[in-house]
Amino acid sequence: IPNVVVYGLDYFMFKLKSHQFFMDAVSAAGEDAEPGPYANGLLLLLSNKSHIDEFFNNYLDQLNQNVNPPNETQETGNGTIHVIDPFIGYEKQVYEPLPHKKRWFKKFDYGPYPGKEGIYFTKLLEEWEKDDVQVILVFLPDYIGSYESNHQMDVFKKEIQQLTAPYQNVFIYDYNRPDKFPLSNPKYFLDGGHGKSNSHLSKTGARVFNRMLLKEIKKHYE
């Protein structure tokens, strides 16, 4: 069981449904095994939490030993998936500037809890509390255009705070704020913009963000 786990929070997290292929890949049961009591979705993550803990612990050990080539794959019941790669972002291409703000741009509504599978988010928090694991939830930085397009971000953040309030082992770090992270700096982002629902950090932005986050995470190991 890990001492600390870190999860990134997505504005659309309660609108999404788990991808069956990925869920099969992390399931402990092989294709010849008897089906478990849970069919699919985030509940499968919950039911196999101990196996997933072991998977990530083994993965971290492998990272330290530098034994995993980047393109290595693992067999699953339905095919193969790529082994997780410690990817730190692409270099920003100077010939791909991010778009300027438009007079009119599409805005995206927040999908409130519980949504499609949100109930399993709180169930997972309950399991981490039982295991006495510190949970770090992170609002990841978006380029300013995407940040303003997701116009109910404050509603999303408030709901996460309400959902996690009962758990003393949960800590929230919000980097999706102009006063916390330079969301308007195009060098820190690959894409995004007004009318676009998401964005991705560039290699430069990822390094800045990682340094900021690591300072916070370090407190949980002292």
- What does the pLDDT read at residue 221? 84
Return the SS3 of 46.
helix
**Range of 89's domain?**
4-221
Q: How many other CB atoms are found less than 10 A from the CB of residue 183?
A: 23
Q: How many other CB atoms are found less than 10 A from the CB of residue 96?
A: 9
- What does the pLDDT read at residue 188? 93
Q: Total structural domains in the chain?
A: 1
- Tokens read off for 159: 């709901």
Q: How many other CB atoms are found less than 10 A from the CB of residue 102?
A: 11
As beta bridge partners, residue 174 has 139
- What does the pLDDT read at residue 210? 94
- What does the pLDDT read at residue 130? 96
Residues 6+ apart with CB under 8 A from 48: 26, 27, 28, 36
Do residues 173 and 128 lie in contact, with contact meaning Cβ atoms separated by under 8 Å? no
- What does the pLDDT read at residue 207? 93
Average pLDDT across each block of 10 residues of the chain; the chain has 222 residues. List them in order: 92 85 58 45 57 56 47 46 48 56 90 93 95 96 96 98 98 98 93 91 93 92 81
- What does the pLDDT read at residue 72? 45
- What does the pLDDT read at residue 73? 45
What size, in residues, is the chain?
222
- What does the pLDDT read at residue 101? 78
- What does the pLDDT read at residue 52? 59
Do residues 208 and 194 lie in contact, with contact meaning Cβ atoms separated by under 8 Å? no
- What does the pLDDT read at residue 77? 47
How far, in Å, are 22, 66, 175, 200, 220 from residue 207 at the CA level? 28, 20, 14, 13, 20
